Amino acid sequence: MSQTITLPGLIDPHVHLRDPGQTYKEDFLSGTSAALAGGFTTVMDMPNNLTPITTEARLQTKIDSARRQAVCDIGFHFGTLGDNFAEFPKVISQVMGLKIYLNITTGGFIIDGAKLRGIYEAWPEGKPILLHAEDDVSDLVWKTLKAVSKPTHMCHVSSRAELEFVMRAKDAGLPLTCGVTPHHLFLSEKDADQLGPYGFMKPFLKPQADQDFLWDHFAAIDIIESDHAPHTKEEKDSDKPPFGVPGLETTLPLMLSAEAEGRLTRAQLIERLHTNAARIFNVPVDDSTHIEVDMSEREIRNEELLTKAGWSPFAGRRVVGRVSKVILHGETVFVDGKVLVKPGSGRLLP
């Protein structure tokens, strides 16, 4: 007998849906379908498209594409290389936050650290700044936040040093929150050898001791964010595999499995996958949005995924939890692996 549980619609503030520019990897229809299959009713898309989203015109093209295709609620983070401040006031009402890359990753979309302070000063109040900032740039982040105190979300914290930094910053009263990905919670350097390019992402997988530290200090983690970063198998098998792994469809079952093992409580799961992201990114929440999850045990299988990537670093893993139904704003939008609504029926945020 399988049990079904009900959860609020999950919120993922960190996905890369590749639309426009690289829709062979993912597009707004496939990416938001994968979101529903994973229990996410709101996603926020990152700006590192093939042509980075650094102007209002490019943002508009992206929003238009999402308006035609999205089947869940979706918002967008703006991008910057430190030379587009005139665009900030034009886009501020149309985005959820500003993403800044301080370390190299897919797309080579990285700023010179010297520009960070100026960007912080230029970004209008009211919408958070998201940082890709690994351990090597933590001093710069600290100095910048001390000088310009704007709400900042540290993406994909993956190591002991990085989480300790966040904890110190919070203790010091700096306006910092952080996210951790499921791959950093459930995979380590040991898996990297076996996974090869399929375990290759930024930040890299870390030693077991770092993963243990993340679990031991779970209270300091605000959000579990998938960092859904789809790439094709051909790209991953090539001589220069790109960084990134898909995650929208595996995040919830991994977290429910950890809950079943006693590693976190149901309340903590809901906070990390819903409540905290709603608060940090000002996502409207609505009592008529929820998901139903069949708690039978099952195996993660590539063939069942809706992401165009068609693979997961967690394939073969036994988990509990499969999203059986999604109710979005009172409408049943997903049942047993099938999206029931027309492309474009998702709402655009904010």
CB environment 180-213: b (16+ within 10 A), e (fewer): bbbbbbbbbeebbeebebbbbbbbebbeeebbeb
Q: Measuring CA to CA, how many Å separate 124 from each of 86, 119, 151, 301?
A: 11, 10, 11, 44
Contact criterion met (CB below 8 Å) for 34 and 248: yes
Site track 295-334 with ligand NCD (rule: CB under 6 A), x = hit: ----------------------------------------
| Residue 93 burial class via C-beta count within 10 angstroms: exposed 0-12, middle 13-18, buried 19 and up | exposed
d(CA 319, CA 219): 23
Contact window for ligand NCD (CB under 6 A) among 1-9, 185-193, 240-248, 314-322: 240-248
Contact window for Zn ion (CB under 5 A) among 62-70, 225-233, 266-274, 285-293: 225-233
Q: Does position 227 bind Zn ion by CB under 5 A?
A: yes
Residue 127 binds: one of Zn ion, ligand NCD, none (C-beta under 5 to 8 A by kind): none
Q: Kindly write down the DSSP assignment for every residue of 128-181, as one continuous string.
A: -EEEE--GGGHHHHHHHHHHS---EEE----SHHHHHHHHHHHHTT--EEEEE-
Contact window for ligand NCD (CB under 6 A) among 73-81, 143-151, 169-177, 242-250: 242-250
Q: Does position 339 bind ligand NCD by CB under 6 A?
A: no
Contact window for Zn ion (CB under 5 A) among 33-41, 87-95, 221-229, 299-307: 221-229
| Residue 48 burial class via C-beta count within 10 angstroms: exposed 0-12, middle 13-18, buried 19 and up | buried
Please report, as residue ranges, which positions from 87 to 116 form the binding site for ligand NCD (by CB under 6 A): 105-106
Q: Does position 250 bind ligand NCD by CB under 6 A?
A: no
Q: What is the size of the binding site for Zn ion (CB under 5 A)?
A: 1
Q: Does position 127 bind ligand NCD by CB under 6 A?
A: no
Taking the least distance from each CB to ligand NCD, the nearer of 159 and 324 is 159
Q: Does position 12 bind Zn ion by CB under 5 A?
A: no
Q: Does position 229 bind ligand NCD by CB under 6 A?
A: yes
| Residues in contact with ligand NCD by the rule CB under 6 A | 16, 48, 105-106, 132, 201-202, 227, 229, 242-244
| Residues in contact with Zn ion by the rule CB under 5 A | 227
